[in-house]
Amino acid sequence: MSSTQKITPFLWFDKEAGQAVEFYLSIFKNSKIISRNDVSDTPSGDVQIYKIELMGQPFSLMNAGPLFKFNEAISFVIECENQEEVDYYWNSLTAQGGKPGQCGWLKDPFGVSWQVVPQGLGELIVNDKTDQVFQAMLKMSKIIIADLEKIKA
């Protein structure tokens, strides 16, 4: 893990952290497990804490019981270079029970919210036809870059 990284997302799972680690490592290239620690006799019972790195971004995941649930108030954004990359992350994260949302948002099988968007989305939206492009994007689930570019042209 990079010693310059000062902020690390920390995700609380009921008991699926290990499954989530394997799921994320299978999707994000150049990713790895840094450590796994088991802590027993805590107020929420036995706890497992995983430290992982997904494409250079550190994450901590913890199994600590059903006290908290994920919601859309927090999400992770994946900026994609092209439609092929949008399709890859969208299809991978919605596989195995993930749920598509609107405007590039989705929930993975564990309930974690992600936004899968093309790089330069702002440039696609902000132009002479901003309202038309934005309205088209609002109707999309997975973002289709070519459809937005057609409207912009």
pLDDT at 125 over 60: yes
Q: What is the mean pLDDT of residues 102-130?
A: 88
**Rounded to 10 degrees, what is the CA torsion of 33, 22, 19, 51?**
20
Return the higher-pLDDT residue of 125 and 81: 81
pLDDT at 84 over 90: yes
Return the higher-pLDDT residue of 109 and 121: 109
Domain co-membership, 59 together with 74: no
Expressed as residue numbers, the domain containing 4 is 1-68
Domain co-membership, 58 together with 95: no
Domain co-membership, 15 together with 86: no
pLDDT at 71 over 90: yes
pLDDT of residue 106: 98
Q: Classify residue 96 by its DSSP letter.
A: G
Mean pLDDT rounded to a whole number for the chain? 91
Q: What is the mean pLDDT of residues 78-95?
A: 97
Domain co-membership, 56 together with 76: no
Domain co-membership, 85 together with 57: no
Domain co-membership, 74 together with 149: yes
* CATH code of the domain in which 141 resides: 3.10.180.10
pLDDT of residue 142: 97
Q: Coil, strand, or helix at residue 35?
A: strand
pLDDT at 50 over 80: yes
Query: How many domains, in total, are found in the chain?
Result: 2
pLDDT at 112 over 60: yes
Domain co-membership, 80 together with 119: yes
pTM of the model: 0.89
Domain co-membership, 58 together with 113: no
Domain co-membership, 26 together with 100: no
